[in-house]
């Protein structure tokens, strides 16, 4: 399965590197070159609402019988800390965009008793091509790492630390709303080939640029993440959703 993930990511990167320049070459005569446009987003504030469903390895039957059980529980969780950053580069009809997310989460539920701690690290890199004005089709890769510790009921505490690499495809629409305003709508999905993980992200935000080298960003982001693997020799699965408002700054140059 790991070889399949690597092959899928390699295919996405190859498509990104070779197909997009070929498409750009066909439209180079009709699309003027506006030069390099770079924006770095060093600070993003995100306070998402978090919900997680956790399934642990099955536990052998007790002396009283009843067969093995698979402990599973769902919780609303609190955000302990989050770090977000991103960048975007444009040249003519090309774009290159990357982002980084670290979120430390913990939560509890009463029935069944659940205590969950999960640190999520996510980084992605996508190349895009402008197919119509302000609309970009994108392909790239995403790295996902989890550090999870969970206890359900009276079952033993379980730790799980998977890391995964998956291909990702997406779309971004960035129309101007005025001289100093721009709307940014983005959606992407990853992991549809690999099977061990899947992710989906949707973002809507408005960017206001009152100064040449300053952009204020406000909007909202939603993220879904599903990852499964083995804890020892048994199956473990985590599903989590995060959604909430985003505010930050950008530095264009």
Please write down the long-range contacts of 30-36, taking CB distance under 8 Å and 24 or more positions apart. Answer: 31/92, 31/93, 31/130, 32/92, 33/91, 33/92, 34/90, 34/92, 35/91, 36/89, 36/90, 36/91
**Is residue 13 predicted with pLDDT exceeding 50?**
no
Number of separate domains in the chain: 1
Q: What's the rounded Cα separation, in Å, for the pair 33 and 53?
A: 48
Listed residue (148, 240, 142, 230) closest to 191, CA to CA: 142
40-44, 69-73, 135-139: least confidently modelled range: 69-73
CATH of the domain at 223: 2.40.128
Mean pLDDT of 86-94: 95
Q: What is residue 80's predicted lDDT score, i.e. its pLDDT?
A: 60
Q: What's the rounded Cα separation, in Å, for the pair 56 and 44?
A: 33
Range of the domain at 143: 2-61+69-252
Q: What is residue 125's predicted lDDT score, i.e. its pLDDT?
A: 97
pLDDT tens-digit map of 163-188: 889 999 999 999 999 999 999 999 99
Q: What's the rounded Cα separation, in Å, for the pair 150 and 117?
A: 6
Q: What is residue 197's predicted lDDT score, i.e. its pLDDT?
A: 85
Q: What's the rounded Cα separation, in Å, for the pair 237 and 203?
A: 26
Cβ atoms of residues 118 and 105 within 8 Å = yes
pLDDT tens-digit map of 34-65: 689 999 999 888 877 777 888 776 655 554 55
Q: Which residues pair with 165 in a beta bridge?
A: 143
37-41, 75-79, 142-146, 240-244: least confidently modelled range: 75-79
Q: What's the rounded Cα separation, in Å, for the pair 148 and 125?
A: 25
């Amino acid at each position: 399965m790991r070889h399949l993930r690597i092959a899928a990511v390699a295919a996405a990167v190859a498509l990104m590197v070779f197909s997009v320049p070929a498409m750009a070459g066909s439209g180079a005569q009709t699309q003027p070159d506006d030069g390099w446009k770079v924006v770095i987003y060093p600070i993003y504030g995100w306070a998402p609402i978090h919900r997680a469903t956790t399934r642990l390895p099955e536990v052998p039957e007790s002396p009283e019988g009843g067969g093995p059980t698979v402990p599973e529980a769902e919780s609303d969780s609190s955000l302990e800390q989050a770090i977000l950053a991103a960048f975007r580069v444009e040249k003519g009809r090309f774009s290159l965009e990357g982002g980084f997310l670290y979120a430390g989460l913990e939560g509890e539920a009463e029935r069944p008793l659940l205590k969950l701690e999960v640190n999520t690290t996510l980084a992605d890199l996508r190349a895009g091509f402008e197919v119509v004005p302000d609309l970009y089709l994108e392909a790239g890769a995403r790295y996902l790492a989890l550090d999870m510790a969970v206890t359900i009921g009276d079952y033993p505490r379980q730790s799980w630390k998977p890391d995964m690499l998956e291909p990702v495809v997406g779309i971004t629409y960035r129309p101007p709303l005025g001289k100093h305003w721009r709307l940014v709508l983005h959606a992407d999905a990853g992991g549809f080939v690999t099977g061990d993980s899947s992710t989906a992200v949707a973002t809507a935000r408005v960017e206001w640029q009152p100064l040449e080298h300053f952009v204020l960003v406000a909007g909202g982001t939603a993220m879904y993440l599903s990852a499964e693997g083995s804890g020892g020799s048994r199956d473990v699965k985590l599903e989590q959703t995060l959604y909430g408002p985003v505010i930050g700054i950008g530095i264009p140059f």
